[in-house]
Amino acid sequence: MIHSRIAGTGSYLPKKILTNAALESMVDTTDEWIFSRTGIRERHIVADDEFTSDLALQASLNAIKSSGITAHDIDLIIVATTTPDKIFPSVAVMLQNKLGIAGCPAFDIQAVCSGFVYALATADNFIKAGAAQCALVVGAEAFSRIVDWTDRGNCILWGDGAGAVVLQASDQPGIISTHLHADGNYEKMLHVPRQADAKVKDTVVMEGNAVFKVAVNTLDAIVDETLAANGMQKSDIDWLVPHQANIRILQATAKKLDMNMDKVIVTVDKHGNTSAASIPLALDIAVQDRRIKRGDIVLMEAFGGGFTWGSALIRY
């Protein structure tokens, strides 16, 4: 049977850093208020001339280098993003062009913060079906472009960045299982409504407390689902790489797994919520600093607008 495994990882963050202290001069907030509720200290923000495809390119080049392949080895590109450069073409097609390759399928997936897990599951199934041998899977966001910077309860959360993995066909399972869900009944709890006036910017609207409660319950359930599907115990998980939305959600998921926070990859303090980019960013950092090693069992899980949610269990 054909399986897929992660051959390499990469990430990229814009140079501009927006600290909580800087936000104090923009909205009615404080560093202490932000950190105590979210765990965030700072986030990276794209430059005026920097776009999602630029972030995706840098993360991809790093993943390609760490995998020991060339761009021409790639036969599938999937980009998870909520913030494409344009309505069309897709970021994936633009990334393909920037990598100097052509011909292979390239498309975006939009599942907001769950996007990378959705993209990884899709690429895994392409490889299992024999339709691809070497997939580039990217989560990339310029989320600051859809933020209302006057909304003190919302603007503090978001950041920009990109993470990528190269997924290759293997005779040994790397992606052990993936689990994806969605429920459109919750659409208006977290969304970007279209404004009737084209001159008014479309920005994120979120019912924070309600989203938090649903997220915690949903992620609890998907942990149970993932373990049951694989006949595994909580103690079998070496690392949790969660979507970096809020430190309290991360802590709740760790508690569900009876896991010490030392085994949870946390980047929300320095990155904020980078939506689809957060999991691959966190994964790459933990691989680079050698916390996550070959053979480790890693659980990724995410929850996002839609609502969408999902998990991926991998042997790195």
Active site residues: 113, 243, 273
* Cα dihedral 151→211→280→286 (10° resolution): 100
CA–CA distance, 119 with 198 (Å, rounded to integer): 31
Provide the 8-state DSSP code for 311.
Answer: E
Peptide bond into 126 cis (omega under 30): no
Residue 117: half-sphere exposure toward Cβ, Cα within 13 Å: 32
CA distances from 195 to 183, 192, 205 (A): 24, 9, 12
At 131, phi and psi to the nearest 5? -90, -10
CA–CA distance, 184 with 35 (Å, rounded to integer): 31
Q: Which residues contact 143 (CB under 8 A, 6 or more apart)?
A: 82, 83, 158, 159, 160, 273, 274, 275
At 157, phi and psi to the nearest 5? -85, -30
At 129, phi and psi to the nearest 5? -80, -5
Q: Collapsing DSSP states into helix, strand and coil, what is residue 196?
A: coil
